[in-house]
């Protein structure tokens, strides 16, 4: 781990971070010591595999919070923010 963000309590918010470029970005930032918040929209049956990927990020000694929420819907987005 490079760790230039370690112990600075920096957070990255990633929308769509359960796969693809979003997940790759989360992994990279975590390796540099940044905490991660991921908002994703996935089917219930896909969650176990996604949680495995998230656990790998947590093993980078950072905090990761994930929310499986459709942030496009105004009400859900407002609930998430509060």
pLDDT value, residue 1: 57
Inside any domain, residue 34: yes
Inside any domain, residue 25: yes
Inside any domain, residue 40: yes
Residue 73 DSSP label: S
Helix (H, G, I), strand (E, B) or coil at 26: helix
Mean pLDDT of the chain: 93
Inside any domain, residue 76: yes
Tens digit of each residue's pLDDT (9 = 90 or more) over 29-44: 999 999 999 999 999 9
Number of domains in the chain: 1
Query: Taking the model in full, what pTM does it have?
Result: 0.87
Inside any domain, residue 63: yes
Query: Which residues fall within 8 angstroms of residue 54, CB to CB, at 6 or more apart?
Result: 38, 64, 66
Structural domain including 28 reads: 11-81
Inside any domain, residue 48: yes
């Amino acid at each position: 781990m490079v760790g230039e963000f370690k112990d600075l309590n920096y957070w990255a918010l990633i929308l769509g971070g359960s796969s693809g470029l979003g997940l790759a970005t989360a992994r990279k930032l975590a390796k540099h010591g940044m905490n991660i918040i991921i908002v994703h929209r996935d089917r219930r049956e896909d969650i176990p595999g996604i949680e495995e990927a998230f656990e790998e990020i947590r093993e980078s000694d950072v905090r990761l919070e994930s929310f499986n929420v459709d942030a496009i819907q105004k009400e859900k987005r407002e609930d998430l923010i509060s």
